[in-house]
Amino acid sequence: MVNPGAFKGSRKLFLASQADLYTEAVAENRVADTVSDIQRRYFKHYPITLSHNEEPSEDWLA
């Protein structure tokens, strides 16, 4: 059975939206900076204090 992954909802959509950016970074040999930027934006949207099964409000994401 394939592992479906831990990310669901808007978290999964956010990470999927970063795939092209990451692919471009690999081609341009700037993965570390890009991953750092993706992580920074992820934690701005989904703070560490927010439970993994809790979606942030639309106001928070705006």
Which residue did the predictor score with more confidence, 61 or 57? 57
φ and ψ of 40, to 5 deg: -60, -45
Note the pLDDT of residue 5: 79
Instruction: Write down the residue that tokens 């570390």 correspond to.
Output: 32
**Residue showing tokens 């909802």:** 9
| Alpha carbons within 13 A on the beta-carbon side of 60 | 12
Backbone phi and psi for residue 52, each to the nearest 5 degrees, phi listed first: -65, -20
Mean residue pLDDT across the chain = 90
The answer to whether the beta carbons of residues 42 and 14 sit under 8 Å apart is yes
Q: Is the dihedral of CA 37, 40, 46, 52 positive or negative?
A: positive
Q: What is the pLDDT of residues 18-39, one digit of tens each?
A: 999 999 999 999 999 999 999 9
